C-alpha cells in the first residue's frame, strides 16, 4: 500500500495521477485528503481515502494501516503564525508512527541547501524535517528541488499584460530550476521501486543554466513579446506576500529564504544539473505550460 499526502496539491495531484497510470499489478494507493470531494471523480473511484489532515496522529495512524510506502509533503500554509512549528506539527506524527505502523520507505519533497543553508526560512524548516525523518532510521529519499518553474504561474497576468515579472532573487546569477512533473516522476519511480534502502538526497535540477534575466529572455521568445525581470528587495517581497494574505511569520520566512539564496547560493551554479532525473527544460515548460496559461 502506498500512502500519498497532499493529493490535491500541484505535486501530490501529479504523483497520484502517475501512480494510477502505471500501477498495474502494483500496490494500491491510499490518499489523505481534507475534502474527498476535491479529488477528481476518476481519481476518487480508484483510490482509498482517509479524510483529514496528515498532521493529525489519528488520521495518520489510520492511513498507515497496512501501508509500507509514503509520499510526504508538508503543505505550504501562508496563514501560519509559526513556520518552524508548522513543519514540526506535520513531521512529529510521522516520526512517531513510521516504525510502529510498518512504513519502511518514505519519499518526501524537500529542497536543495543541505550543508549550506543558514537562517534560510522555509528552506531551513524543510531541511529540519529531513533530519527528523532520517533519525527514525526509515529508508528515506529527500527530493531536493530548487526553484519550481510553476512558481512563475503566479505572475501570468503581469507577465502577459506588462511584460514584467518580479523576483527577489538576484537577476544576474544562475538559478537552478525544476518542473513539478519531474519531481512527481522521480517520486513515483521511487515509490514503485522496492530495491532501495538507506537514506539519500535526490537533487533535481533541470539542464538549464539560466539566470532570472535569462529566464525572461526565454519567456520573450516563447511569448513573442518582450519580458524582463524586475528585482525587488526581500522586504518588498514580504510586503507583497502579506498583502495577498500571508502572515508576518510566513512573509518573513520567505524573505529569509530569498536572502539566504542570494547570499549563500542555495540554488546557484554550484549545484550541477541532473538532467537524467529532471529532463524538462525551462523552454519546454514555457512552451507547454506557461504559454498556454498566458493565452487562456
Low-confidence residues of the chain: pLDDT under 70? 23-26, 100
pTM, to two decimals: 0.95
- Characterize the bridge pairing of strands 139-145 and 228-231: unpaired
Per-residue confidence (pLDDT) for residue 22, from 0 to 100: 82
Cell representation of residue 268: 546557484
CA–CA separation, 90 and 268 (whole Å): 29
Write down all domains in the chain, each with its CATH number in brackets: 2-146+177-203 (3.40.50.720)
The pLDDT tens digits for 132-146 are: 999 999 999 999 999
Q: Is the dihedral of CA 271, 290, 4, 29 positive or negative?
A: negative
Per residue, what are the HEC states of the chain? CEEECCCCCHHHHHHHHHHHHHCCCCCCEEEEECCHHHCCHHHHCCCEEEECCCCCHHHHHHHHCCCCEEEECCCCCCCCCCHHHHHHHHHHHHHHHHCCCCCCEEEEEEECCCCCCCCCCHHHHHHHHHHHHHCCCCEEEEEEECEEHHHHHHHHHHHHHHCEEEECCCCCCCCCEECHHHHHHHHHHHHCCCCCCCEEEEECCCCCCCCHHHHHHHHHHHHCCCCEEEECCHHHHHHHHHHCCCCHHHHHHHHHHHHHHHHHCCCCCCCCCCCCCCCCCHHHHHHHHHHHHHHC
Report CA Rg, the chain.
19
pLDDT of residue 24: 58
Amino acid at each position: 500500500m502506498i500512502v500519498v499526502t497532499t493529493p490535491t496539491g500541484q505535486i501530490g495531484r501529479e504523483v497520484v495521477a502517475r501512480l494510477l497510470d502505471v500501477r498495474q499489478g502494483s500496490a494500491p494507493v491510499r490518499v489523505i485528503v481534507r475534502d474527498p470531494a476535491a479529488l477528481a471523480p476518476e481519481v476518487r473511484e480508484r483510490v482509498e481515502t482517509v479524510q483529514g489532515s496528515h498532521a493529525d496522529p489519528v488520521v495518520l495512524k489510520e492511513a498507515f494501516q497496512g501501508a509500507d510506502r509514503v509520499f510526504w509533503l508538508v503543505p505550504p500554509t501562508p496563514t501560519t503564525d509559526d513556520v518552524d512549528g508548522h513543519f514540526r506539527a506535520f513531521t512529529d506524527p510521522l516520526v512517531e508512527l513510521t516504525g510502529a505502523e510498518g512504513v519502511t520507505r518514505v519519499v518526501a519533497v524537500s529542497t536543495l541547501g543541505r550543508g549550506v543553508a543558514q537562517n534560510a526560512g522555509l528552506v531551513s524548516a524543510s531541511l529540519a524535517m529531513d533530519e527528523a525523518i532520517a533519525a527514525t532510521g526509515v529508508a528515506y529519499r529527500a527530493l531536493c528541488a530548487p526553484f519550481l518553474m510553476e512558481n512563475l504561474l503566479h505572475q501570468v497576468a503581469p507577465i502577459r499584460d506588462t511584460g514584467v515579472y518580479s523576483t527577489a532573487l538576484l537577476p544576474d546569477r544562475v538559478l537552478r530550476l525544476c518542473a513539478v512533473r519531474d519531481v512527481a516522476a522521480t517520486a513515483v519511480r521511487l515509490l514503485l521501486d522496492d530495491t532501495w534502502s538507506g537514506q539519500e538526497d535526490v537533487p533535481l535540477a533541470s539542464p538549464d543554466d539560466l539566470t532570472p534575466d535569462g529566464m525572461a529572455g526565454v519567456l520573450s521568445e516563447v511569448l513573442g513579446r518582450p519580458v524582463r525581470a524586475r528585482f525587488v528587495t526581500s522586504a518588498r517581497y514580504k510586503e507583497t506576500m502579506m498583502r495577498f494574505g500571508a502572515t508576518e511569520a510566513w512573509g518573513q520566512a520567505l524573505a529569509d529564504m530569498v536572502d539566504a539564496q542570494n547570499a549563500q547560493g542555495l540554488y546557484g551554479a554550484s549545484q550541477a544539473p541532473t538532467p537524467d532525473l529532471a529532463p524538462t527544460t525551462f523552454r519546454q515548460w514555457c512552451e507547454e505550460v506557461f504559454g498556454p496559461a498566458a493565452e487562456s
